[in-house]
Amino acid sequence: MDLAVLREDMVDGLEAAPKNVLTDETVSVAMRDVSRHAFLDDERTAYADREHEALGTRVLSPSTAARLLQALALEDDETVLIVGVGVGYTAAVAAEIVGETNVHAVDISRPLVVEARRNLAAAGYDGVLVDCRDGANGLPEYAPFDRILLEAAVVDPPRALREQLAEGGRLVFPRGTQRQRLAVISAAGELEQLDPITLEPLLVEGEQSGAVERNRMAREDRERAQRRAESRRGWEQDWIEWDETLGAQSRRPRTR
């Protein structure tokens, strides 16, 4: 079994597939260079265009990975943040295009972070930084990023990710819940919706594999409350602030 031949056949099949699955030459060349079998246990099926399961997560099929990477429109030397690194394959293809030290990735699952680091090192991309943290918070220490890929579905991308997008940058994500479309949002807030896609929803703390509590709405509720608080204007807000000031003064100890 010649794995290099299987890899070539995989890319050839994506290029010949209907609906323009793979038309970007840059992504095509990168996928021909990345050893996908380094990221999956079964070498025999690594290059089949299907999903896999690993450590409680769904490993994207090659065609889905190609669609996400094409939407990013990567160019050499751009900085990239991948939220939801999984087993690391998408990060490796991105590293092949922009350079491994320009790729940063996060995942909320510690076992996946360990696995992604091991896989990336085995495939020759140990310069990719992979950190364990809530993807909704991004990676502010290394921001801004020219490109951000969110490999999980949301109705709207988390505010922190949008704030970490560089001027002229692109944030790619699956938009929606049950019915999703691949979407691209610019740093200026312009939204473009592409073809249908289906990915798992973005997890928050407590939802990762092995956790007890599952409450997907926690982050969304917190962000909505913050937006409501920031949007309050007019005499109502002035009255609330005045009332709070009076309350604080009434509790202040008197001096003689």
CB 144 within 8 A of CB 162: no
Residue 228: Cβ within 10 Å count = 9
Q: Which residue is it, tokens 């265009």?
A: 49
Distance separating alpha carbons of residues 100 and 87, to the nearest angstrom: 16
**Identified catalytic residue from 28, 61, 109, 186:** 61
* Other beta carbons within 10 Å of 5: 10
Rounded CA separation 145/256 (Å) = 57
Q: Annotated catalytic, 28?
A: no
Q: Which residues of 229-250 are buried (b: 16+ CB within 10 A; e: fewer)?
A: eeeeeeeeeeeeeeeeeeeeee
Instruction: Name the H helices within the chain.
Output: 3-16, 25-33, 62-72, 89-98, 110-123, 159-163, 217-231, 235-251
Q: Which of these, 98, 41, 34, lies nearest to 62 by C-alpha position? A: 34
Q: Which residues are catalytic?
A: 61
